[in-house]
Amino acid sequence: AQTVTQSQPEMSVQEAETVTLSCTYDTSESDYYLFWYKQPPSRQMILVIRQEAYKQQNATENRFSVNFQKAAKSFSLKISDSQLGDAAMYFCAFFSGSRLTFGEGTQLTVNP
């Protein structure tokens, strides 16, 4: 079974600065996908970024980028130029086959 671990229950960052959220996973699969989802207070799940395991290049989406280290099974999220609207719970997720497994989540606070 796959497991996803987010070791930081809470993180905070000053507005306009950069923050990195950590995620590690454990799997014996070679073909899989990794995601970061954002869940604001509204509880709506929002896809932030996606990474295919077969791609070596790290995914980027505007201010969001990942550091994907396949051998280390690490998938961290970097948020640059943090904005107040980035405050939310962030979940790392692993997909293989037909299952999407979530980490425990990291609550991000953005300080003005």
List of residues contacting other proteins (CB under 8 A): 33, 35, 42-45, 47, 50, 52, 91, 95-96, 98-105, 107
Strands 64-69 and 60-61: what pairing? antiparallel
Which tokens sit at 90?
Answer: 């962030």
Only one residue has tokens 């998938």, namely 75
- Tell me the closest approach of the beta carbon of residue 34 to other proteins, in angstroms: 10
Report the C-alpha gap between 3 and 8 in whole angstroms. Answer: 16
Nearer to other proteins by Cβ, of 80 and 102: the residue is: 102
- Tell me the closest approach of the beta carbon of residue 29 to other proteins, in angstroms: 12
Nearer to other proteins by Cβ, of 65 and 104: the residue is: 104
